[in-house]
Amino acid sequence: KAGVTQTPRYLIKTRGQQVTLSCSPISGHRSVSWYQQTPGQGLQFLFEYFSETQRNKGNFPGRFSGRQFSNSRSEMNVSTLELGDSALYLCASSPEIAGYGEQYFGPGTRLTVT
């Protein structure tokens, strides 16, 4: 079974631009969660989608948004990029709502904002 895939793997953007990251979960998984990983803040939860509905959201500004499609694929969007948004963005999928069991992580998208 194919794992979680994330595209693109690397991205360089300029401050003020917007970016869209994509995540394809493991087949059959309905929950997709997004995390931001930085050296200073560690792993921080962004949001979770289950069956196309946002079930939970972390403490991030409204510039961070996401959605999930009927095939469980998910996208996250960051508008008006800031230098501090440079991070590794990880997507994770699970069969049920995240937290009951293990989550399966993708390789991440490395976003650099200049």
Partner 1 sequence: AQSVAQPEDQVNVAEGNPLTVKCTYSVSGNPYLFWYVQYPNRGLQFLLKYITGDNLVKGSYGFEAEFNKSQTSFHLKKPSALVSDSALYFCAVREAHTGFSGGYNKLIFGAGTRLAVHP
List residues binding partner 1 (CB under 8 A).
4, 33, 35, 42-43, 45, 48, 55-56, 58, 90, 92, 97-108
Q: How far is the CB of 26 from partner 1 (least distance, A)?
A: 12
91 neighbors 4 (Cβ within 8 angstroms): yes
Q: What is the dihedral of CA 95, 98, 102, 104, to 10 degrees?
A: 70
Task: Name the minimum Å distance from CB 18 to partner 1.
Answer: 24
Nearest Cα neighbor of 68 from 49, 46, 86 is 49
90 vs 113 by CB, closer to partner 1: 90
Q: Smallest gap, in angstroms, from Cβ of residue 56 to partner 1?
A: 4
Asked whether the beta carbons of 63 and 80 are under 8 A apart, the reply is yes
Judged by CB, which is closer to partner 1: 98, or 113? 98
User: Rounded to the nearest whole angstrom, what is the least distance from the CB of residue 84 to partner 1 in the complex?
Assistant: 18
Instruction: From residue 46, give the alpha-carbon distance in Å to each of 27, 50, 53, 67, 73.
Output: 22, 14, 14, 12, 16
- Give 75 or 104: the residue with its C-beta nearer to partner 1: 104
